[in-house]
Amino acid sequence: MDALPDFEVVRPKTLDALIAARTAHPQSSLLGGGTDLIVNIRRGIVAPKVLIETSGVAELHAIAADAHKLAIGAAVTLSELAAHPDVVRYYPAVAQAAAHIAGPTQRNMGTVGGNLCLDTRCIFYNQSEWWRDANRHCLKTIGTVCHVAPKSRGVCFATFSGESGACAFDLGRRGRYRRTGRRPHHAPCCSLYRLCAAG
């Protein structure tokens, strides 16, 4: 197994400190459970020089759920979300979705923010550096072709794989429908969902 590249880990304790760290290091990556990011670093897919750990920020671990609203901190683990009594009571679909993402180990470590903002997945992109080099790389890295769809004319077909995004999208759509009395064309969280889906 290849050694990890050198990087610095910043461990803010408040939301303001996290924002300041991100401002100071705009090319950094946020580190929650690390179930996706650390694997991608090890494979040579990404090599951030700075990681900003989110687990020490109390505000990001909060869950607030009642009959009118649901607020979930980015550092909440999928297991915590699935077991939260108010989420189970008022938003059972969210609790059920969280309980069925990946396996128990990933749910215990993986965070809601990480699952929503997962990098795209692809049989060519999510491989080791030597494998990608042997296969002439892909459009998402330093290649010129999407090997999944070679005739795609420069379009990358790597797919978004965060399971929680679809549930959030649907909840946003339903919430707006209840408030306005008409079915919307775009959910309130649609822009964030599309941004995450674009990688």
The 10s digit of each residue's pLDDT in 90-130 is 999 889 989 988 899 999 999 998 888 887 778 888 888 88
pLDDT of residue 39: 87
pLDDT of the residue at 153? 80
pLDDT band at 43 (very low <50, low <70, confident <90, very high): confident
CA atoms lying within 13 Å on the CB side of residue 181: 0
Helices (H) and strands (E) in the chain, counts: 10, 5
pLDDT of residue 28: 95
- On the CB side of 66, CA atoms within 13 Å amount to 1
Give the residue-averaged pLDDT of 9-36: 95
Is the pLDDT at 75 greater than 90? The verdict is yes
Tallying the residues shown for the chain, one arrives at 199
Amino acid letter for position 105: T
Say what the pLDDT of residue 124 is.
Answer: 85
Cα 82 from Cα 157, distance rounded (Å): 31
Is 60 exceeded by the pLDDT of residue 44? yes
pTM of the model: 0.73
As a whole number of angstroms, the distance between CA 56 and CA 17 comes to 11
**pLDDT at res. 165:** 64
Q: Which residues contact 133 (CB under 8 A, 6 or more apart)?
A: none
Helix, strand, coil percentages, rounded to 5, for the chain: 40, 10, 50
- What b/e string do you get for 176-189 counting C-beta neighbours within 10 Å, with b at 16 or more? beeeeeeeeeebbb
Contact 75, 32 (CB under 8 A): yes
Average pLDDT, the chain: 81
At residue 48, does pLDDT exceed 60? yes
- pLDDT average, residue stretch 128-151: 87
What was the pLDDT predicted at 170? 62
Quick: pLDDT tens for 148-198. Answer: 888 888 888 887 767 666 666 566 655 443 333 333 333 333 333 333 333
Give the pair of three-digit tokens for residue 65.
């759920």
pLDDT band at 57 (very low <50, low <70, confident <90, very high): very high
Range from 9-13, 36-40, 183-187 that averages highest in pLDDT: 9-13
Residue 195: alpha-carbon gap to chain centroid: 11
Q: Vertex 196, ends 98 and 126: CA angle to 5°?
A: 85
